[in-house]
Chain A
């Protein structure tokens, strides 16, 4: 697919979702099952991205201590859990990866 066509399709999909309920007339109440399902979208989607990034950085499963991204990511997750601070989490994770890359031969 041409990259510009792709961008327009992504934009149309995103906009249609945002307009969906605002565009409808009057009050809308989503069924509670739909609301639960929508609340589960962020944890499901984001984890589906995070896990392969950390567990298989070179395309195959790597659970060893030589997997520096897994170590740095685990530390970042701990920081996120304790502080709920986005910038601190990114900062600590990135510095951890740099330090590990400098210390451990890879």
Chain B
């Protein structure tokens, strides 16, 4: 039996499959994008700048944080460095998807890197891992990521634009800025399933409150880095006690 067969799926069918897989996720992206638009305008960004951020940065949580820091009057360098920290997780995505894109031309890599959001990555890596588990190699699989990525891109641009134009009409007594905290609660709480991440979250949160008064809005960066350090320390401790137990068991 041959175990490694090349699949001749057409670029078109890969593209359509990528768009289809992305659709359910986009249901959640629409309100998220609209909320960003409302906040960007209420934070004082011009309509043009708020729109441009969605295509230049194209990263939901970094845009939320960026808008918040602009509103608080943080210096540009702090905002850029905070963007770096908030987006660091994309190195993991980039590393895990890189082997599947290794044979592509530079132009393809540059384009697909731009489209590598949380949402497009999530559906694409699931597909690629399934394919490689069943020893399938579709030569046009990069079209799948292109489909998922462009579906996400279009939805993000349209929904943030809707939010930006709605934003001017929404009175501040509606407290819609609270949706930032709520969105982040919805993202972080379900992920707190092991001790290192709970430790990282709690220590980062407490330090953020303690460091709130730091100049230049540096509190967020200090808190995030300290939280990661505490999480790593807990992880290392768990590993070393685990190893000690193994040694004792083997005696």
**Chain A interface residues toward B at CB < 8 A:** 1, 3-11, 13-15, 17-30, 33, 35-56, 59, 61, 69, 72-73, 76-77, 80-81, 84-87, 89-90, 93-94, 97-98, 101
Contact = CB atoms under 8 A, between A and B. Distances in A.
Contacts of B52: 4, 7
A72 B178 contact: yes
Interface stretch (B132-140, B160-168, B187-195): B187-195
Contacts, number: 260
B98 A24 contact: yes
Given A47-B202, A48-B227, A50-B185, A30 B85 contact: no
Contact of A53 (B45, B109, B112, B181): B181
Given A21-B95, A41-B89, A50 B197 contact: no
A45 B95 contact: no
5 contacts: A7-B49, A10-B80, A19-B113, A22-B98, A48-B219
B80 A50 contact: no
Task: Identify which of B97, B109, B183 gathers the most chain A CB atoms within 10 Å of its CB.
Answer: B183
A90 B38 CA distance: 15
A23 to B, nearest CB: 6
A61 B209 CA distance: 8
B212 A53 contact: no
Nearest to B45: A3
Contact of B83 (A3, A14, A94): A14
Given A13-B84, A29-B95, 15 more contacts: A4-B52, A10-B83, A17-B94, A18-B116, A25-B102, A30-B91, A36-B232, A42-B191, A43-B198, A49-B220, A50-B188, A51-B205, A80-B189, A93-B178, A94-B182
The dominant DSSP class at the A interface is helix
B208 A22 contact: no
B114 interface: yes
Contacts of B87: 13-14, 17-18
A55 B76 CA distance: 26
A13 B232 contact: no
Interface string B209-224: 1001000000110011
Contacts of A4: 49, 52
A61 B211 CA distance: 12
A48 B179 CA distance: 16
Contact of A36 (B56, B180, B196): B196
Contacts of B179: 90, 93-94
A73 B184 CA distance: 11
A87 B80 contact: no
Contacts of B85: 41, 45
Contacts of B205: 47-48, 50-51
A39 B92 contact: yes
A39 B89 CA distance: 7
Contacts of A54: 181
Interface in B68-89: 68, 70, 75-77, 79-80, 83-89
A27 B132 CA distance: 15
Which 9 interchain pairs have the tightest Cβ spacing? Answer: A1-B76, A44-B227, A51-B205, A89-B186, A21-B94, A11-B56, A48-B223, A80-B189, A19-B113
Interface in B117-134: none
